[in-house]
């Protein structure tokens, strides 16, 4: 992911890519991030999750702006430390929930007024990248962020189940999230699927919206004058990662706040960790 981020920022006007840091000398000439702390205004953190806190903290302590890949941190305590430090240093802390910037989801979010039910499915084949965390922090967290942004209220209840398949951690998970305003979200994620699926459905009074986030296709079903009408929209093109990079630059210049700041990233992380806890408790109960 670091390479992809570097490519996007290198192309943005008004941005100078100062350095790329990687512990593998074949990938980058600089292997220690501490060597660039005095040479940059901002940094993108795309390291394994367990290193997010250590690396991001070093930049934030110097008042440098940080875009950090999701999830924000490995624990809530680490997340709280980063959020508090960013506030203290008046630095931008943006979390890389890139799906917020997809054309299809942005169009969907404009149409949704009061979500009653959200149904999301995110399936992928197994990849070693990201496998240092469970499927909830790896994949489901995308849809957790989207559901929270559409529900626009606090979580009131969570139930979940999941299983280990190819790794020693959770590879398949489903979760039901109930919100204080009555909205319910059913989310499922798998990293051991034979096909890639990105389905996101939203139901509200008078409207059913279905989004294929992989293909950029939206379908709306609504009732008008006693008749059921269907319309389809295509929102292909665009580059969500580049749009996220541009949003980070705008935030650094103070032109607009990030769509997913540290506090919002912490909120998503809290929900993801709670789902993981529930799944592990269930697995322990039925494996004993």
Q: Give, in words, the CATH class of 2-98+242-260.
A: alpha beta
Domain with CATH 3.30.360.10 in the chain: 103-238+272-287
Cα dihedral 193→275→178→96 (10° resolution) = -70
Domain with CATH 3.40.50.720 in the chain: 2-98+242-260
- Tens digits of pLDDT across the chain (288 residues): 999 999 999 999 999 999 999 999 888 999 999 999 999 999 999 999 999 999 999 999 999 999 999 999 999 999 999 999 999 999 999 999 999 999 999 999 999 999 999 999 999 998 876 578 999 999 999 999 999 999 999 999 999 999 999 888 999 999 999 999 999 999 999 999 988 888 999 999 999 999 988 889 999 999 888 899 999 999 988 899 999 999 999 999 999 999 999 999 999 999 999 999 999 999 999 876
Question: pTM of the predicted model, to two decimals?
Answer: 0.94
Whole-angstrom Cα distance, residue 43 to residue 30? 14
The structure tokens listed for 140 are 């489901």
């Amino acid at each position: 992911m670091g390479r992809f981020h570097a490519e996007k920022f290198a192309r943005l006007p008004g941005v100078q890519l100062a350095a790329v840091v990687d512990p593998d000398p074949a990938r980058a000439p600089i292997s220690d991030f501490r060597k660039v702390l005095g040479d940059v205004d901002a940094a993108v953190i795309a390291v394994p999750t367990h290193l997010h806190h250590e690396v991001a903290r070093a930049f934030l302590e110097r008042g440098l702006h940080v875009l950090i890949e999701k999830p924000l941190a490995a624990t809530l305590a680490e997340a709280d430390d980063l959020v508090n430090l960013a506030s203290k240093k008046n630095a931008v802390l943006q979390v890389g929930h890139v799906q917020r910037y997809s054309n299809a989801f942005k169009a969907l979010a404009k149409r949704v007024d009061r979500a009653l039910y959200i149904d999301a499915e995110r399936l992928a084949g197994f990849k070693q990248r990201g496998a240092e965390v469970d499927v909830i922090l790896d994949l489901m967290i995308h849809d957790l962020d989207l559901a929270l942004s559409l529900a626009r209220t606090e979580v009131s209840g969570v139930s979940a189940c999941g299983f280990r398949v190819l790794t020693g951690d959770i590879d398949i998970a489903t979760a039901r999230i109930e919100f204080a305003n009555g909205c319910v979200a059913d989310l499922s994620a798998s990293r051991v699927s034979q096909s890639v699926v990105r389905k996101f459905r939203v139901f509200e009074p008078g409207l059913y919206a279905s989004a294929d986030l992989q293909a950029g296709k939206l379908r709306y079903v609504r009732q008008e004058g006693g008749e059921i009408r269907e319309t389809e929209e295509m929102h292909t093109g665009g580059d969500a990662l580049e749009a996220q990079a541009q949003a980070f630059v705008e935030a650094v210049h103070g032109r607009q706040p990030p769509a997913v700041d540290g506090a919002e990233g912490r909120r998503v992380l809290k929900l993801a960790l709670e789902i993981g806890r529930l799944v592990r408790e269930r697995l322990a109960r039925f494996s004993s």
